[in-house]
Chains A and B, each alone.
Chain A
């Protein structure tokens, strides 16, 4: 599970957090402090922060920059040297048919994962916010798959979708439907990995929406009740607007997370069938760099992916801020 991107939005969106520069205490107090304390604070802050900052520089920022450099080379991951080949990799990526399919797969997978997990997560949150017997146990059940390793879920679901002995073909057989060729037909394969990913990550959208539902204001609900509004009108006019912050938050985090899925795809289909049937951009980075030994080209795909994510997130944050002002 990846918790990281959650905070990415908290950094930019959480209105409850004090602005970055706000001192912990009134600034006036700082002047009252003896100068010795000030020097002590600086030294201590350096000692406390430096190990972490060094790690972030060495393994996040340095490789980010280095990755851009590599994207202009023909490096093969093992050779000591690489030659500069200009924008050849970029030209290749943007003109190749493979990339079109990869891009399509990424968009379909990400779009379906975001939409699917948010709609179903919201429906489940609405359902389990009601007073039903056993709802606490079911809440735990819905959240549980989220803590499981994506690789383990992928391995297990390869068997769940097994065409002859699997769970899905058996259930479909009971209602007289023949199981589609999940492992031969690229479109069904993409469908299969998407469903698996949604199953695993539903718990996340569910708990965020549930928390939002529980934090909403009961008075508004009651006012709607008194007005005898229909259930749908009540949801649309009263509940949904209150869920807006959670919805924006999820749009950003779920998109970032599902864009980066590797484990489920690697364990279920290895990016296949028919070569690139379920290959997304992240999987292409891995495939080109470590399997095809084309690290330069892999770095190019990674750079394009990073820029795409950056633009999407910035647009989302902008839209969110506008939504809040409105």
Chain B
């Protein structure tokens, strides 16, 4: 598992490596035995509060029906069963929801990253009149909550005949404000000498983007890609309004439908569906969390 280190600045003190402690080792890390015990008790409490519900969801998805509906609860499924997963896989079109989620997330991520890179490049490196105005226009759109635009967008998409289509779900979500801003700031932080040298070589702007700017921007780009994937995979309200059935509805919407039909009376398959919805994102997160956190914390902690 990748260590969770929000900032990779050289002076940051995240390193757990066994390297000899520098003389300026932070005093708060030299703690008394008493506060260490307190620290570990705290750690234990955190693990309980965060992990127990996750463990509960997982074991419930692996229990047989009578095992779920017992008092007091059982902590280990007896017996283990994958029946809930096969029920979810066959009965309620979950594979369709999964396919839709993959389509929607993939298309949106590719489109948003492309638009974000192009917009940020123009705002950082190209000279044109009204540039600061355009930047303000992009940033200000972040102040508009989705829920405010939902009614009118619904009407527009319905008029276009795009309800219950992928276009209807994807196109209204495709504009990029956050990523444009994130990337633009990163582009402006690149060493000027290299950018100017590239211009001196009379490399065209496109070549400069491909050969010079992007190769120096992978960490930020990955952070942006990850944040986009997580955001779009988890979209709920808009697809709920757009999708009528399993031909376009993504996993969170399908899961809520499954809950409507089976919840309370049959938690097993519902928990299996929950696990299937959560798992892909959790795996991506565990592999790449360092990059994602970098994107989230950028700019947040500087005064």
Residues of A within 8 A of B (CB): 1-8, 10-12, 14-18, 20-25, 29-30, 33, 38, 40-42, 44-46, 48-49, 51-53, 55-56, 58-64, 66-67, 70, 77, 124, 127-145, 147-152, 155-160, 162, 164-165, 167, 170, 173, 199, 202, 204, 207-208, 210-212, 214-215, 218-219, 221-222, 224-225, 244-246, 249-250, 256, 259-260, 262-263, 266-267, 282, 285-286, 289-290, 295, 298-299, 302-303, 305-306, 309-310, 313, 324
Closest chain B residue to A268, Cβ basis: B259
B27 vs chain A, min Cβ distance (A): 4
Partner among B31, B71, B121, B141 whose Cβ is within 8 Å of the Cβ of A61: B141
Within 8 A of A (CB), among B134-151: 134-151
> In the complex, which of the residues B27, B155, B175 contacts A60, with contact meaning CB atoms closer than 8 Å?
B175
Q: Please, how many angstroms separate the alpha-carbon atoms of A142 and B4 in the complex?
A: 10
Determine if B28 and A129 form an interchain contact, defined as CB atoms under 8 angstroms apart. yes
Contact indicator A165/B71 (Cβ below 8 Å): yes
**Cα–Cα distance between A8 and B180 once the two chains are bound (Å):** 12
- Report whether B13 and A218 are in contact in the complex, using a CB–CB cutoff of 8 Å: yes
Whether A222 lies near B27 (C-beta < 8 A) is: yes
Given contacts A14-B302, A70-B152, contact A267 B182 (CB under 8 A): no
Nearest-CB distance from A139 to chain B (Å)? Answer: 4
Is B150 a contact of A138 with CB atoms below 8 Å? Answer: no
Task: Please determine whether B251 and A44 come into contact, CB atoms closer than 8 angstroms.
Answer: no
**A residues in contact with B286, CB < 8 Å:** 140, 144
CA distance A60 to B171 in the complex (A): 12
Knowing A7-B139, A135-B16, the reply to whether A285 touches B151 (Cβ < 8 A) is yes
Q: How far is the CA of A58 from the CA of B187 in the complex (A)?
A: 27
A152 contacts B277, C-beta separation under 8 Å? yes
- Name the CB-closest residue of A to B303: A245
Which chain A residue has the least Cβ–Cβ distance from B40? A132
Q: Does B255 sit at the interface, judged by CB under 8 A? A: yes
Cα distance, A5 to B146, chains bound together (Å): 11
Q: Give the shortest distance, in Å, between A6 (CB) and chain B (any CB).
A: 7
Q: Tell whether A302 pairs with B195 under 8 Å between CB atoms, given A4-B177, A20-B135, A143-B289.
A: no
Residue in A156, A215, A224, A250 whose CB lies within 8 Å of B12: A215
B178 & A24 in contact (Cβ 8 Å cutoff): no
**CB < 8 Å neighbour of A143 from B39, B277, B293:** B293
A262-B237 in contact (CB<8A)? yes
CA distance A61 to B143 in the complex (A): 11
Contact A155 B236 (CB under 8 A): no
13 A-B contact pairs sorted by A residue (CB < 8 Å)? A3-B296, A14-B299, A15-B303, A56-B141, A60-B144, A70-B152, A127-B43, A134-B43, A136-B3, A139-B3, A142-B46, A158-B263, A306-B144
Q: Chain B residues with Cβ under 8 A from A46's Cβ?
A: 128
B166 proximity list for chain A (CB < 8 A): none
With the chains together, A6 CA to B178 CA distance in Å? 8
Please indicate which of the listed interface residues B47, B52, B148 has the most CB atoms of chain A within 10 Å of its own CB: B148
Within 8 A of A (CB), among B43-79: 43, 46-47, 49-54, 56-57, 60, 68-73
